[in-house]
Amino acid sequence: MAGLDILRRDLLRYWRNPIRTALLFAMPLVIAGVFALAFGGGGGDQISIKILLFDEDDSLLSRFLEGAGGSSQRDQKLEVVPVGEEGYEMMERGEASALIHLPQGFTTDFLDGTPTTIGVVKNPSERFLPKIVDEGARIGAVGLSEASRVFRAELAQIGDFTREEKFPADLAVAGLSSGVNNKLKGLERFLFPPVVTLESVSLRSEGGEEEDSDFNILAYVLPGFSVMGILFLAQSATRDILRDRESGLLRQLLTAPVSVNDYVGGKCLSVFAVTALGFALFVIIGLAAGIRWGPAPAVVALMLASALAAAGLLILIMSLVGSERQGDTLTTIVIIVSSMLGGAFMPVSQMPAFLTPISAATPVYWSTEGFAKLIIHGGGLGDIVLNLAVLSIVGAALMLIGALILKRKIERGAL
Amino acid sequence: MITVERLCKSFGSLAAVDDVSFSVNEGEIFGLLGPNGAGKTTSINMICGVLKPDGGRVVIGNKDIWLEPKAVKRTLGVVPQEIAVYEDLTARDNLNFWGSLYGLSGGDLKSRVDESLTTVGLTDRAGDRVKEFSGGMKRRLNLCMGLLHHPRVLLLDEPTIGIDPQARLNILEVVREVADGGTTVLYTTHYMEEAQELCDRIAIMDHGKILTVGTLDELTRLAGEAEVLRLTGDFDDPSIRDRLLALDGVRVLKVDDRIAVLSVEAGGPGLLEVLPRVLAADLGVEDVSIQQPNLQSVFISLTGKELRD
């Protein structure tokens, strides 16, 4: 029962300190919000990239490129607006993510094999979206350059056709077709099947029907930052163990009918409960922001397992240090590093390959990966069994070891 | 009510408590008097079951605290030397938590909390966070936490350190009232005035050992003293010390470069005869004060040094 009294007291302390408690939650939420805003969206809004296309060439190729940018479903996320010179002024006013400039004679130069340039003007006030446009344009330029090298003769012939006033002779068209065909056959090995395939999966609605769900950037960043947030909550809760010692409260508690086991058990319970409740709050905030976390049982299970892992990790670290200052420094380093490595800031898939096994050694990885399965891939409880097992077993083991060390230190009078 | 037998505790090579034994009767206020570092807090920590002794045992109400810790601790109230309260909680929150640890709940807990707050005069501030309290108020709240569950034995470890005289008087008054109600009190202090005013019996402690135990009268008789002369002057010349030692009817308790403390021996010639001899001895005395025998002189006679040293 003393354990429950300690839990009640700790929760009351958070309640009596609303500013301190709010600050604990604010940091991960602010970082997640900044990330979401940097991507130009927030809440349930989808990402929309607005590109201005200044097409001075106004030819077949430039119109093809313009059409490619604004076709089918992409126009929900990519808006291509044809503009003239005024496009540069619009960029000055920050009205678009980027401006692509196709200069006059672009198609002719391309067909003739003369070096030409696609201009990209980026919006400096946005961080990521202009990069996407820049990379896209770069890939397009490389593709066009390679096509120009491979089909040099055929492109020159097409150029001749466009300059002739009369329609090309059937024989010339057949020769062109034959030449292109032969070269494509030579490239068949590389092009069919393609070396790289793209598989796009849409989230499913509750009814099971596939739908073109709005892309919510918070759904990508909030789970990771929530995990980091609960690590900081666990840090705050475990810090009290050292504060109890340094303030004399631990000694005072042990004069009451409270055994060392009661105290350590109560603190473990309290750290876990505070962490789990904190995570629940992050989930509620995510729901309010339009995140579909996934099936409730799976989310609750993953939340609890993540809280256990966070509590276990922090209790173990705090059991090893000698003072509050030492504990704060060490735990802050561990939280930041494990959050970065575990995928709280960016997906693990974007990191160098050698970091992958290190990432998998952090609870943050198993938690964020689990939430990605639920949120991004529409998975359920069955898909996160491994994540739940790793987080629960490792969390319980770390907590047990930490608790034993704390007990030993208290009994020896070292704490 | 409290029996301490041959208690020992060492930290490395330092013997913090060395073979300490004493007993406290039911309803008695027993003082443990000694300078800082004498071993009082270490003793209290072992008596209340927080620090395991290297040797010896502590029996409270016929139960060994290390064999039946929870049962004994339910009868104990402890007020520590350092203020141990949750500053971010209100006074009532602190007391509610503390009471719950002793199994109090509901209306019983509320009435005990109200009663304790009234006893220490904090009723008006019950809903305020402790961080807004003065040092004296925090001390009184700390005392409140020790009294909440109506303990049979109250252990107070220097509970008046660092507080104003008014708060100190209030605490001493509460301790007297608690003892009048039948609670056994073990009170450690290095203020001899507190021990003299409050305690029925006193143990004088230094360097981890109990030097003597008794009532105030017994202790002063034990030292065999009447009045105490405290001389101020220039006493660094060894010959002056020799002359001091040669004086009839006095006992030199202490002498250093500036201070000499002499006790007039009981049954001897008496102060009126001794004082002129001292002044006529050409010792270079600049000032003389005369004190009735007290714990200070007892302590000096036992250790050769003053309590504040």
Count of pairs with CB atoms under 8 A, one residue in A, one in B: 71
Contact B80/A252, CB-based, under 8 Å?
Answer: yes
**Which helix H or strand E contains A411, and what residues bound it?**
helix A385-412
Domain tally, chain A: 2
Q: Assess whether pLDDT exceeds 60 at residue A271.
A: yes
pLDDT-derived band of residue A214, with 50, 70 and 90 as boundaries? low
Distance from CA of B50 to the nearest CA of A (A): 6
Which parts of A71-194 fold into alpha helices (H)? 86-92, 106-112, 129-150, 152-163, 170-191
Q: Assess whether pLDDT exceeds 70 at residue B164.
A: yes
Q: What b/e readout covers A35-50, taking b as 16+ CB neighbours within 10 angstroms?
A: bbeebbbbeebebebb
A353 and A273 belong to one structural domain: yes
On whether any CB of chain B is under 8 Å from the CB of A8, the answer is yes
Contact A16/B50, CB-based, under 8 Å?
Answer: no
**Which helix H or strand E contains A391, and what residues bound it?**
helix A385-412
pLDDT-derived band of residue B92, with 50, 70 and 90 as boundaries? very high
Residue of chain A nearest B95, judged by CA positions:
A9
Does any domain span residue A262?
Answer: yes
Which tokens belong to A312? 């276990």
On whether any CB of chain B is under 8 Å from the CB of A132, the answer is no
Q: Tell me the C-alpha to C-alpha distance, in Å, between residue A231 and each of A317, A364, B139.
A: 12, 9, 36
Q: Assess whether pLDDT exceeds 70 at residue A43.
A: no
A280 and A396 belong to one structural domain: yes
Please list, in sequence order, all residues whose beta carbon lies within 8 angstroms of the beta carbon of residue A110, skipping any fewer than 6 positions away: A61, A116, A144, A148, A155
Which tokens belong to A242? 């050292």
A235: containing domain? 2-40+214-412
pLDDT tens track for B116-154: 999 888 999 999 999 999 888 898 899 899 989 999 999
User: A104-108, A298-302, B159-163, B301-305: which range is least confident on average?
Assistant: B301-305
Partners of A252 on chain B (C-beta within 8 Å) are 78, 80, 84, 145
pLDDT tens track for A28-40: 777 777 776 665 4
pLDDT tens track for A48-68: 677 888 888 877 666 766 665
Does any domain span residue A196?
Answer: no
A90 and A64 belong to one structural domain: yes
Residue of chain A nearest B46, judged by CA positions:
A255
Closest listed residue to residue A77, CA positions, set A12, A146, A129, A139: A129
Contact B69/A248, CB-based, under 8 Å?
Answer: no
A317 and A247 belong to one structural domain: yes
pLDDT tens track for B62-74: 899 988 988 999 9
Partners of B84 on chain A (C-beta within 8 Å) are 247-249, 251-252
Q: Assess whether pLDDT exceeds 80 at residue B305.
A: no
The packing angle between helices A324-342 and A296-320, to 10°, is 140
A303 and A406 belong to one structural domain: yes
Contact B80/A12, CB-based, under 8 Å?
Answer: no
A22 and A116 belong to one structural domain: no
A110 and A30 belong to one structural domain: no
Q: Assess whether pLDDT exceeds 60 at residue A46.
A: no
Counting other chains too, the contacts that A281-287 makes at CB distance below 8 Å and 24 or more residues apart are A281/A25, A282/A25, A282/A28, A282/A29, A282/A222, A282/A226, A282/A229, A282/A230, A283/A226, A285/A29, A285/A222, A286/A218, A286/A219, A286/A222, A286/A223, A286/A226
Amino acid at A210: E
Contact A13/B88, CB-based, under 8 Å?
Answer: yes
User: What's the pLDDT at B44?
Assistant: 92
Does any domain span residue A301?
Answer: yes
Contact A257/B70, CB-based, under 8 Å?
Answer: yes
Distance from CA of B307 to the nearest CA of A (A): 26
Boundary residue ending a domain (A176, A191, A206): A191
What single string gives the DSSP state of each residue in B12-53? TTEEEEEEEEEEE-TT-EEEEE--TTSSHHHHHHHHTTSS--
On whether any CB of chain B is under 8 Å from the CB of A77, the answer is no
On whether any CB of chain A is under 8 Å from the CB of B199, the answer is no
pLDDT-derived band of residue A194, with 50, 70 and 90 as boundaries? very low
On whether any CB of chain A is under 8 Å from the CB of B86, the answer is yes
Partners of A237 on chain B (C-beta within 8 Å) are none
Q: Which of B67, B83, B101 to mutate to test the interface with A (most CBs of A within 10 A)?
A: B101
pLDDT tens track for A111-138: 777 888 888 887 776 656 676 777 777 7
Residue B174, CB-side half-sphere exposure with 13 Å CA sphere: 29
Domain holding A182: CATH number?
A: 3.40.1710
Question: What is the side-by-side order of every strand in the sheet holding B76-79?
Answer: B76-79, B153-157, B184-189, B29-33, B201-206, B209-214
pLDDT-derived band of residue A196, with 50, 70 and 90 as boundaries? very low
Closest listed residue to residue B154, CA positions, set B116, B126, B123: B116
SS3 A219: helix
A276 and A379 belong to one structural domain: yes
Q: Assess whether pLDDT exceeds 70 at residue B108.
A: yes
Which tokens belong to A34? 């900044």
pLDDT tens track for A236-255: 889 888 888 888 888 888 89
Residue of chain B nearest A256, judged by CA positions:
B73
Name the β-bridge partners of A312: none
Question: What is the side-by-side order of every strand in the sheet holding B14-24?
Answer: B14-24, B2-11, B55-60, B63-64
User: What's the pLDDT at A211?
Assistant: 43
Percent of chain A scoring above 90 in pLDDT: 18
Residue of chain B nearest A262, judged by CA positions:
B101
Query: Measured between CB atoms, which of B69, B84, B88 is closest to A16?
Result: B88
C-alpha span between B1 and B47 (Å, rounded): 12
Query: Measured between CB atoms, which of A5, A255, A259 is closest to B78?
Result: A255
Partners of A13 on chain B (C-beta within 8 Å) are 86, 88-89
Partners of B102 on chain A (C-beta within 8 Å) are 256-257
Contact B89/A258, CB-based, under 8 Å?
Answer: no
Name the β-bridge partners of B11: B14
Contact B70/A247, CB-based, under 8 Å?
Answer: no
User: What's the pLDDT at A24?
Assistant: 77
Does any domain span residue A396?
Answer: yes
pLDDT-derived band of residue B89, with 50, 70 and 90 as boundaries? very high
On whether any CB of chain B is under 8 Å from the CB of A346, the answer is no
Contact B70/A248, CB-based, under 8 Å?
Answer: no
> Could you say which DSSP state residue A383 is in?
G
Scan residues 113-172 of B and list those with Cβ closer than 8 Å to A.
129, 145, 155
Reported ipTM: 0.78
User: What's the pLDDT at B75?
Assistant: 92
C-alpha span between A276 and A300 (Å, rounded): 9
User: A144-153, A156-165, A184-193: which range is least confident on average?
Assistant: A184-193
Q: What's the rounded mean pLDDT across residues B243-247?
A: 80
Does any domain span residue A197?
Answer: no
Contact A254/B49, CB-based, under 8 Å?
Answer: yes
Distance from CA of B49 to the nearest CA of A (A): 7
A246 and A98 belong to one structural domain: no
Which tokens belong to A4? 């429950």
Query: Measured between CB atoms, which of B76, B80, B100 is closest to A5?
Result: B100
On whether any CB of chain B is under 8 Å from the CB of A261, the answer is no
Does any domain span residue A243?
Answer: yes
A382 and A238 belong to one structural domain: yes
User: What's the pLDDT at A210?
Assistant: 44
Q: Is B43:B61 a contact under the CB 8 Å cutoff?
A: no
On whether any CB of chain A is under 8 Å from the CB of B105, the answer is no
Does any domain span residue A206?
Answer: no
Contact B73/A257, CB-based, under 8 Å?
Answer: yes
> Could you say which DSSP state residue B120 is in?
T
* Torsion A146-A150-A156-A158 (CA) sign: negative
Boundary residue ending a domain (A191, A226, A251): A191
Does any domain span residue A257?
Answer: yes
Which tokens belong to A396? 């319980």
A308 and A250 belong to one structural domain: yes
Residue of chain A nearest B68, judged by CA positions:
A257
> For residue B271, with 0-12 CB atoms within 10 Å meaning exposed, 13-18 middle and 19 or more buried, which class applies?
middle
Q: Which of A255, A259, A411, A415 to mutate to test the interface with B (most CBs of B within 10 A)?
A: A255
Name the β-bridge partners of B187: B31, B156
pLDDT tens track for A318-364: 999 888 888 889 999 999 999 888 888 877 777 788 888 888 899 99
A266 and A126 belong to one structural domain: no
C-alpha span between B50 and B44 (Å, rounded): 9
Partners of A253 on chain B (C-beta within 8 Å) are 101
Query: Measured between CB atoms, which of B69, B84, B97 is closest to A5?
Result: B97
Contact A249/B86, CB-based, under 8 Å?
Answer: yes
Partners of A8 on chain B (C-beta within 8 Å) are 97, 100
Partners of A249 on chain B (C-beta within 8 Å) are 84-86
Closest listed residue to residue A16, CA positions, set B87, B157, B278: B87
User: What's the pLDDT at A195?
Assistant: 42
Boundary residue ending a domain (A191, A226, A261): A191
C-alpha span between B273 and B227 (Å, rounded): 12
> For residue B202, with 0-12 CB atoms within 10 Å meaning exposed, 13-18 middle and 19 or more buried, which class applies?
buried
Q: Which of B9, B58, B86 to mutate to test the interface with A (most CBs of A within 10 A)?
A: B86
